[in-house]
């Protein structure tokens, strides 16, 4: 270790932790930008050590749908070879027959896949709602229209585990660029975003909620109209709210 480098290394500890701030942060980043190999190697080592802190966290598994969503999102990144381009090279009756049979099989597979993806999630939701209704720890909370939507109504099945399902009626579809955000509010706590909900042309909608379990009982459920992507804290008008329980 280079002599006179101790001060930088001390700051490197806190930098690797992500806690350095203010002028110290600016100075240290300038030092790193100057190409200090000692500090770079040191920070790398500290970051590896910090992985030990992961032993302290409760393990959670993401839902099975999460992987599919990621693969859907990266699908546009892969090089795509159109099937038609491949098929156009095939000539002759046998090849056409093979093509027809293959197309039939593909059609059946696509149809089966369509029904699977179209209806399977819905069945899963129905099952989850039934499970909620069976659970004695599930509350049934009424929500009432507020602000710009006094005629709206809602009903939230809520389990203290953090799982719930919200049904709404008479809530007009959110305007372009807006969404309805669902919040739970525990005693003396700020609202916590738990889901967004869409409604159809008839004003009907529903969403299944899987939030982390709250330490304190949830007192209030609210729905606000927000710009798309707002999840940190409510900023828009409240359209549905429960009475405090």
Partner 1 sequence: MSAQSISSGYLVQQVAQQDREAFSQLYDRCSSLVFSLAMRMLRVRSDAEDLLQEVFVQIWRQASNYSAERGTPEAWIVNIARSRAIDKLRSIRRMEQSFVLTDDPARAESSDNVETSAAESEAKMAMSSALVNLPEAQRRVLELAYFDGLTQTEIAARLKEPLGTVKTRMRSGIQRLREIMKMQAA
Burial 192-205 (b: 16+ CB within 10 A, else e): bbbbbbebeeebeb
- The stretch among 103-111, 127-135, 164-172, 193-201 that binds partner 1 (CB under 8 A) is 193-201
Nearest to 12 by CA among 34, 35, 41: 41
Beta carbon nearer to partner 1, 20 or 125: 20
CB of 216 to partner 1, least distance (A): 8
User: Rule CB under 8 A: is residue 78 a binding residue for partner 1?
Assistant: yes
- Alpha carbons within 13 angstroms on the beta-carbon side of residue 26 total 2
Residues near partner 1 (CB under 8 A), total: 62
Q: Which of 29, 190, 228, 243 binds partner 1 (CB under 8 A)?
A: 190
Q: How far apart are CA 222 and CA 142, in angstroms?
A: 11
Start-to-end C-alpha separation, the chain: 61
Q: Which of 71, 115, 117, 119 binds partner 1 (CB under 8 A)?
A: 71
User: Rule CB under 8 A: is residue 240 a binding residue for partner 1?
Assistant: no
User: Rule CB under 8 A: is residue 37 a binding residue for partner 1?
Assistant: no
**DSSP letter assigned to residue 172:** P
Element (DSSP H or E) covering residue 164 = strand 163-169
Q: How far apart are CA 201 and CA 168, in angstroms?
A: 13
Q: Which of 34, 85, 201, 215 binds partner 1 (CB under 8 A)?
A: 215
User: Rule CB under 8 A: is residue 55 a binding residue for partner 1?
Assistant: yes
Count, residues in the chain: 245
- The stretch among 70-78, 93-101, 122-130, 141-149 that binds partner 1 (CB under 8 A) is 70-78
User: Rule CB under 8 A: is residue 159 a binding residue for partner 1?
Assistant: no
Q: Which of 74, 81, 84, 93 binds partner 1 (CB under 8 A)?
A: 74
Gyration radius of the chain over CA positions: 27
CB of 118 to partner 1, least distance (A): 22
Helices (H) and strands (E) in the chain, counts: 6, 8
Footprint on this chain of partner 1 (rule: CB under 8 A): 10, 13-14, 16-22, 44-63, 66-67, 69-71, 73-74, 77-79, 162, 185-186, 188-195, 210-212, 215-216, 222, 231-235
């Amino acid at each position: 270790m280079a002599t006179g480098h101790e001060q930088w290394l001390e700051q490197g500890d806190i930098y690797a932790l992500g806690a350095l701030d203010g002028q110290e942060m600016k100075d240290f980043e300038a030092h790193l930008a100057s190409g200090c190999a000692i500090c770079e190697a040191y920070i790398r080592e500290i970051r590896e050590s910090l992985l030990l802190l992961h032993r302290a966290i409760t393990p959670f598994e993401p839902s099975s749908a999460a992987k599919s969503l990621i693969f859907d999102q990266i699908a546009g990144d892969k090089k795509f070879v159109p099937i038609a381009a491949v098929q156009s090279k095939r000539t002759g009756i046998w090849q056409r027959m093979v093509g027809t049979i293959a197309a039939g099989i593909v059609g059946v597979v696509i149809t089966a896949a369509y029904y699977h993806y179209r209806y399977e999630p819905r069945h899963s939701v129905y099952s989850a709602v039934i499970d909620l209704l069976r659970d004695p720890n599930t509350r049934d909370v009424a929500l009432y229209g507020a602000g710009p939507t006094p005629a709206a109504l809602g009903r939230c099945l809520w389990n203290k585990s953090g799982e719930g399902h919200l049904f709404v009626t008479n809530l007009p579809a959110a305007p372009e660029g807006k969404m309805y955000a669902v919040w739970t509010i525990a005693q003396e706590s700020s609202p916590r975003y738990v889901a967004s909900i869409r409604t159809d042309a008839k004003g009907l909608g529903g969403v299944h909620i899987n939030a982390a379990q709250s330490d304190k009982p949830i007192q209030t459920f609210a729905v606000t109209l927000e710009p798309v992507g707002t999840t940190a804290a409510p900023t828009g008008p409240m359209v549905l709210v429960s009475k405090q329980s």
